[in-house]
Structure 1
Amino acid sequence: MGDITKTVSKLKSKFKSSDPFFIANKLNIITIHEDLGNTLGYYSKHFRTKFIHINGKVSEKCGYFVCAHELGHALLHNESNTPFLKRNTFFSTEKIELGANFSAMHLLFSSVQKGITYCEFKEYGIP
């Protein structure tokens, strides 16, 4: 997890921001809000263009966490197709998802001085 912390810290320092939408934009990753049914979001790459898809029905705070999580996928393992791996292989995607969650938490909450309550986590859609 140390590599993830370093990667996220470098991004925050480079762009002087912890806003995942701002960082995605600076990295030329297109964010799209659309109806995704029960899916919160996903990362995709079409040729060399990267996309973060976010369910347009989620709250603004939840959207920030989803964007940060998918940004983690884009940065840490942009060639992995977790939906395919889950459906068609016995490969465990838990480590990939854990890394994306850890990067999102570090991006959004590493500079928070006070404790965060369970209710605040729920507002961001964090399980």
Structure 2
Amino acid sequence: MSIRNKVGLLVKEYGKSNPFELARALGIEVIFEPLGDSMGYFSRFKRTAIIHINESLPYKKQVSTCAHELGHVILHPDTNVAFLKSNTYFSTSRIEAEANEFMIELLFNQGKSNVITVYEAVEHYGIPNGLLDKIF
């Protein structure tokens, strides 16, 4: 199933496209904490997924970070990306690209009355133009 279809099914099933609300509906904890240069990551503790978000980010960047990390939880539930990056030679570029695609699909899936353009997404959520070029 494509990432677009997965996002569409989640939004339809839970009636939410806000990543914080969707995480709550899915039973995923979201924690805001000081993370230095890191925007966020996800972890598991006793089968509970936890999304960690840098508390010093502007709110809109927290939203896009939550959507990206939610993508990891949904698409890569058993993959510890931080461990792979720091302890192996495994390339995480595909995993990161999929989480970015999930983020964009979720942020664009705001309902027919709230559809935003690519340019609005870039400005509103701080999504890099280069990332959008790779997906669209």
TM-score, structure 2 normalization: 0.84
Distance verdict in 2 for CA 1:116–1:3, change over 3 Å: closer
Q: Secondary structure at the match of 1:87?
A: helix
* Structure-1 residue corresponding to 2:19: 20
1:102, CA displacement in angstroms?
Answer: 0.3
Q: Secondary structure at the match of 1:24?
A: helix
Measured in 2, the distance between the counterparts of 1:99 and 1:27 equals 19
Measured in 2, the distance between the counterparts of 1:110 and 1:72 equals 14
* Structure-2 residue corresponding to 1:117: 119
* Structure-1 residue corresponding to 2:49: 50
1:117, CA displacement in angstroms?
Answer: 1.9
Q: Secondary structure at the match of 2:118?
A: coil
Q: Secondary structure at the match of 1:126?
A: coil
* Structure-2 residue corresponding to 1:29: 28
Task: State how many pairs are aligned.
Answer: 125
The RMSD of aligned alpha carbons is: 1.6
Measured in 1, the distance between the counterparts of 2:20 and 2:38 equals 19
**Post-superposition CA distance 1:31-61 (Å, at most 9, x none):** 0001000000001001211100000001111
Identity of aligned residues (%): 42
Measured in 2, the distance between the counterparts of 1:19 and 1:94 equals 25
Q: Secondary structure at the match of 1:32?
A: strand
* Structure-1 residue corresponding to 2:95: 96
Structure 2 spans left out of the alignment, 5+ residues: 129-136
Distance verdict in 2 for CA 1:114–1:26, change over 3 Å: closer
TM-score, structure 1 normalization: 0.90
**Post-superposition CA distance 1:86-110 (Å, at most 9, x none):** 1121111000000000001000114
